Structure 1
């Protein structure tokens, strides 16, 4: 294979991610890698919450169709946006080394989450973030915030929000700044499945897969396998209030998980530590524990609230 084509969204963060992978492949193999930029439905419809228009698969469908047509070979996603099921002929081939997976409190007015006054307006699209913010502070007003990272920061600077919540990884990758950026403790604000990891979806062909296999990170593989297993068994999809984070430390893995209603009024939250060797089934087993506590019924009610 002489040339490799990466299908990518056109946002600044998506382009950074694709440019990074392009550079790594070119350095490793000395081949030419091209970027094929396109808009997805999720990039075009910005006035409606994702949960109402189909969830995060909206950010991957057009890229997948490009690969299936033979126009491109791989697509680089934020793993938290990657659905559980892939079309025939495509697969999640690689997960890369994890960047800081924490959510970040971002504000121009207040130095920390604890300093927010009663009734402060917080911007986020994520039902997971909304749920956990209201679990911590039921007095807050949560407003929908769509658009790319730069657009969200602009709305913050223009005074539409007292604070917004963004992924720390995206802020770091784009070298973006605001007056106050404070990452949340992962025990307080459990991140999304796969947050901070890049997932490379690829055409299921050896000539393509062998070009990207060197990018696989074992720690990220263990953590994401647990997190994706948890969400898959709960059948939660990307747009219901589920937080799950696995962190490898030596020979053990700490797992934090939460499931609940978007308004934070009811939730199930649990932490556990497992032996690293048990990682392949750990997410699924934790999900079954949550199901016994009523997680499926809670998520059904959460969907009805959207």
Structure 2
């Protein structure tokens, strides 16, 4: 009997549901798996706003450390949480088939953005979501919110805010019964890789090819490569208000991207088609930088130095 490989994951209910879905696919491919839960920075600081923590690896650092130390054999992440600069010795070997990448507005009565009253309070810890939302409706107010998906939904039901923004893919994986409306991509573009899972291993892992064969979805990976290249070209070491979405078209991609000031006052948006995903991502980023996004991002970096 083959020894089981250890799959590392965060401990939230969503992370465990996602890890088990990957584990089940590996078992069907003849790879025995055990799941190991590891507490990450965000779970150790549950009340601290993400903007204060300001680490790109807030959801992944301890899993990376366990991988490099040999404590686990692979790690499963929501790909949107994975920094574009991975620690030396680690790679994303597979990207799972993408779920719906959109963000949704969750509210007690299920109304959409245009149905919210003037001055309504929206809960989100995402700079990306906040900036795009305020650009569309500057009258809205935003508040920080932390905790797993169930906790955040409960807080809104108890009156903490009028509505909450979440990733649709996570809600669907959890099967939560909540009322929500999708937010059009013309208003809010998602995070790079949103809706897909990323499977990380060490460079020298003998599991690289078996995992890729069992789990990788080529169109989703191609989209993720374009999106992550776009983000990498813009972020420059900081968490920045950037949204991006690629769709595959033939052998290439069609990429939409946006960069905004934190208050939503300035926003640069563009679209580009290309045959090479990474090249397309970099070219679109350069286009936005040349149009003025560079000034916004430099200001953000200056504030954080």
Alignment of 1:112-261 (within 5 A): 112-178=112-178, 180-214=179-213, 215-236=215-236, 239-250=239-250, 253-261=253-261
Q: Structure 2: 5+ residue runs without aligned partners?
A: none
- Over 3 Å counting, the alpha-carbon distance change for 1:305 and 1:105 in structure 2 is farther
Distance 1:200 1:280 in 2: 19
2:276 to 255, 275, 278: 278
Q: Structure 1: 5+ residue runs without aligned partners?
A: none
* Structure 1 outlier segments of 4+, above 6 Å: none
Distance 2:124 2:160 in 1: 12
Q: What RMSD, in angstroms, separates the aligned Cα atoms of the two structures?
A: 1.7
Distance 2:302 2:155 in 1: 29
Q: After alignment, is 105-114 or 127-136 more displaced?
A: 105-114
Q: Which residue of 2 aligns with 1:26?
A: 27
Q: CA deviation at 1:37?
A: 0.5
Do 2:123 and 2:142's aligned partners in 1 also have CA atoms closer than 8 Å? yes
Alignment of 1:56-67 (within 5 A): 56-67=56-67
- Over 3 Å counting, the alpha-carbon distance change for 1:149 and 1:5 in structure 2 is same
Distance 1:204 1:57 in 2: 19
- Over 3 Å counting, the alpha-carbon distance change for 1:175 and 1:241 in structure 2 is same
Give SS of 2:169's match: helix
Return the TM-score normalized by structure 1.
0.94
Alignment of 1:59-78 (within 5 A): 59-78=59-78
Return the TM-score normalized by structure 2.
0.94
- Over 3 Å counting, the alpha-carbon distance change for 1:138 and 1:33 in structure 2 is same
